Amino acid sequence: MSDHDRNERAGNGEAERVVVRDRRRIDPVTGQVRTPPAADEAAAGADPTHPADSASSAGFHPPGPGATPEPAGPSVAEAELAAQVAERTADLQRITAEYANYRRRVDRDREAVLTSARVQFVGDLLTVLDDLERAEAHGDLTGAFKSVGDKVVSVVQKLGLEAFGHEGEPFDPSVHEAVQHEPSDATGPTTTVVVSVLRRGYRIADRVLRPAMVTVTDRAENGTSEPAPEPEQG
């Protein structure tokens, strides 16, 4: 409206009507976002400084209410966090393996110390066990003496002491000490066996306290020391 028209309206007694448009996008009473009418938006034009107008001018259209947002790739912070988690997991696995090895080593050393203590204690009683065995063989292990002997044998057995060296078992140079070899008439493949025990052998677990002192002979593998009979001639 020009100044001439305003002057004519003022001379005719007409007051200029002032129109106030509230373009605030946030309602000051309810706090909700306002949606301006299409006519006002068209009249006002696009504001290049507004994010929505800038996006529209750049060809970007925000997704609708029912649209599914596209998944975004991992950020730099998420990648760093995943790397830290992987590193901590590897450290925990390494520490767990080292602790398991330490436990096994400690258990093995403890068992070795206990076995050595039992061997040292029982080793001093081997001569007593020999006397008890000889007394029993001669019929002298009777009465209170037999009761004491049985208790001594029970104690050493609880400590893991095991006797070996019996007549008829195959000869084993790792646990037998052959002091005499009797002649044999066996022919063909033979096996050396124990025929008499001069002194009992003892061991605890896999440790031999002393070998058994034995007498051995050769026997045929069929279990007899006699040669096989020759077939009769027809």
Of the pLDDT bands very low, low, confident and very high (cuts 50, 70, 90), residue 104 is very high
Write out pLDDT tens, residues 67-89.
565 555 668 888 899 999 999 99
* Structural domain contains residue 117: no
Number of domains in the chain: 1
Mean pLDDT along residues 15-35:
68
**Percent of the chain's residues with pLDDT above 70:** 64
| Residue listed under structure tokens 């110390």 | 113
Residue 23 has pLDDT above 80, yes or no: no
Q: How far is CA 18 from CA 15, 21, 132, in A?
A: 9, 10, 131
Q: Which of 36-45, 126-135, 136-145, 155-164 has the lowest mean pLDDT?
A: 36-45
* Structural domain contains residue 206: yes
Q: How far is CA 4 from CA 9, 11, 13, 163, in A?
A: 9, 11, 14, 136
* Structural domain contains residue 167: yes
CATH number where 205 lies: 2.30.22.10
Q: Which residues contact 180 (CB under 8 A, 6 or more apart)?
A: 215, 216
Crossing angle for the helix pair 126-137 and 143-158, to the nearest 10 degrees: 140
Domain housing 189: 162-228
**Percent of the chain's residues with pLDDT above 90:** 30
